[in-house]
Amino acid sequence: MTAYEKLKIVRSNERPTGGAFIEGLIDNKIELHGDRRYGDDGAIMAGVGVLGDMPVTFIAIDKGVSLEDRIRKNFGCPKPEGYRKALRVMKLAEKFRLPVICIVDTLGAYCGEDGEQRGQGQSIAENLMEMMTLRTPVISIIAGEGGSGGALALAVADRIYMLENAVFSVITPDGCASILWKDPGRMEEAVECLKITADDMKRFGVAETIIPENGDNGGFGKLCGEIKTRLEKDFKELSKLPLEKLIEKRYRRYRGIGDYAEKK
């Protein structure tokens, strides 16, 4: 399957949303609302629940299902108050040593006048800094589209999983084509150039694990079962590390990404 076909799959209305993954993974959910600063962003769903027998914190970007729902959730493009809600819930997780699961599926952060007024850039920057030293294990799952800084703000983690068809990109391929070639029609070409598939992410060291989607075999329940098994195993492993070491490894994880030359 080409990268472009994968992008079409994850953007389709049939793709399970972040909320559906939470539903499939977490039992006894209690959703927590609001950033205690300004408002409650519908695009980000956050709360606590149980994974198998492990209490956890979850944060998911949810695109919504019906049109009404999608509008309320701004089509899964989080606003500053969404990132601040996520950070608040992560800080709470840190306080009570709960592992954090982030489900990422977004075109990118919300783009609008009010977002800029409330510090879209600042809210993402703060998440990057705080997540880097969050004293509890974090695993991020790129479940659909991982779009730019708006996705990264929930993807500073100890491990990153990519669903087989998920993509992760510095900019939407549509945006890339219109900036570079002034022609959004060349998006398919941009998709190839940007290298956005799960295999690319594994090769670059951005993701550790690719979760096979198995087409329709076994369905969504089976997929969630596999993710769950993997999460339980990884959280057990990560929680054995002393916190200092966990944080150091997280820093090193990102510290090593990206090639450069050093020559006269």
Partner 1 sequence: MFGFLRKDFATEREKLAFSAGDNKTFCKGCGGEVYDRSLINNFYICPNCSEYHRIPPRDRIAILADSGSFCEVDKNIQAVDSLNFPLYKDKLEKAKSSTGEKEAVICGTMMIKGIDCACFVMDPRFIMASLGAAVGEKITRLFELATEKSLPVLGFTASGGARMQEGILSLMQMAKCSGAVKRHSDAGNLYVVVLTDPTTGGVTASFAMGGDVILAEPKALIGFAGRRVIEQTTGAKLPENFQSAEFMLEHGFIDKIVPRDEQRSIIASLMRVYSYGGRNDGLRKA
Candidates 164, 200, 208, 226: give the one binding partner 1 (CB under 8 A).
200
Site mask for partner 1 (CB under 8 A), range 111-150, x = bound: xxx-xxxxxxxx-xxx-xxx-xx--------------xx-
CA distance 189 to 6: 14
Q: How many residues comprise the chain?
A: 264
d(CA 256, CA 253): 6
Determine if 193 is a binding residue for partner 1 (CB under 8 A): yes
Asked if 65 is part of the footprint of partner 1 (rule: CB under 8 A), the reply reads no
**Long-range CB pairs of 196-199, under 8 A, 24+ apart, other chains included:** 196/3, 196/7, 196/167, 196/168, 196/169, 197/3, 197/6, 197/167, 198/142, 198/162, 198/163, 198/164, 198/165, 198/166, 198/167
Q: Which is nearer to partner 1, 19 or 76 (CB)?
A: 76
Q: Which is nearer to partner 1, 77 or 224 (CB)?
A: 77
Give kind and range of the element (H or E) at residue 69: helix 67-72
Chosen residue from 54, 65, 170, 243 binding partner 1 by CB under 8 A: 170
Residues lying near partner 1 in the complex (CB under 8 A) are found at: 109, 111-113, 115-122, 124-126, 128-130, 132-133, 148-149, 152-153, 155-156, 168-171, 175-176, 179-180, 193-196, 200-201, 204, 206, 250-251, 254-255, 257-264
